[in-house]
Amino acid sequence: MLSVGLTGGIGAGKSEVSRLLASYGAVVIDADRIAREVVEPGTLGLAAVVDAFGPAILTPEGSLDRPALGAVVFADPERLATLNAIVHPLVGARSQELEGAAGPDAIVVHDVPLLTENGLAPRYDLVVVVDADPATQLGRLVELRGMTESEARARMAAQATREQRRAIADLVIDNDGSREELERQVREVWAELGRRAAPAPGADGSA
């Protein structure tokens, strides 16, 4: 098994790279999706969040009110750290469970937005970073996601810098060009992952 960390700044195109890798045969484990699953109604994760932040962070239906929780934690680093201390271990445990079920020959891609920020690079056999010029990121966030320019800049500033992400990368996908160019690079990365996942000659005891 080859364990790959995939990350990139907001608006860089990481989600599209993740989708392409899955279409080529990667087992993709999406940290954001798991983070939502571990605090669904009835989970121990949601119970722990309510214990820490009170019932005001629930909707009338009993699910997590994400905007209400966000208003609490993103204005207070200590409370954000409390939330992360609850959710991150649950996400990590579920990710490992899914990886373990993938099979010995799988190429497992962990789609982790905050991989750089949380110092997670050592967990993986290699790290792939989807990179884009900050001006490209800004344009995508405004044009495609409907953010104001100030909102987009604030979201970008809250993440690791471009230089910090590239510093931990084993492979970089530059996504400032066309969709065709992106697909070409992702195919090349997939081929490289296949080469790295293949057993070395003689690893199985044969010549």
Within a domain: residue 206? no
Q: How many residues does the chain have?
A: 207
Residues 110/31, Cβ–Cβ less than 8 Å: yes
Cα 83 off chain centre by: 17
DSSP 11-35: TS-HHHHHHHHHHHT-EEEEHHHHH
Within a domain: residue 203? no
**How far is residue 178 from each of residues 40, 45, 75, 91, 142, measured CA to CA in Å?**
38, 41, 37, 33, 18
Which residue bears the tokens 């697909």?
A: 183
Within a domain: residue 71? yes
Within a domain: residue 202? no
**How far is residue 20 from each of residues 64, 125, 182, 187, measured CA to CA in Å?**
31, 20, 10, 8
Within a domain: residue 151? yes
Q: How many domains does the chain have?
A: 1
Q: Residue 171 — very low, low, confident or very high, per pLDDT cuts 50/70/90?
A: very high
**How far is residue 70 from each of residues 58, 143, 160, measured CA to CA in Å?**
12, 24, 19
Find the mean pLDDT for residues 122-128.
Answer: 96
Q: Residue 207 — very low, low, confident or very high, per pLDDT cuts 50/70/90?
A: very low
Query: Is the per-residue pLDDT at 101 higher than 70?
Result: yes
Q: Residue 73 — very low, low, confident or very high, per pLDDT cuts 50/70/90?
A: confident
3-state helix, strand, coil in the chain (%, to 5): 55, 15, 35
In this structure, what CATH number is given to the domain that contains residue 141? 3.40.50.300
AA identity, residue 21: L
Within a domain: residue 201? no
Within a domain: residue 67? yes
Domain residues for the domain of 172 are 2-196
**Whole-angstrom Cα distance, residue 37 to residue 100?**
18
Within a domain: residue 204? no
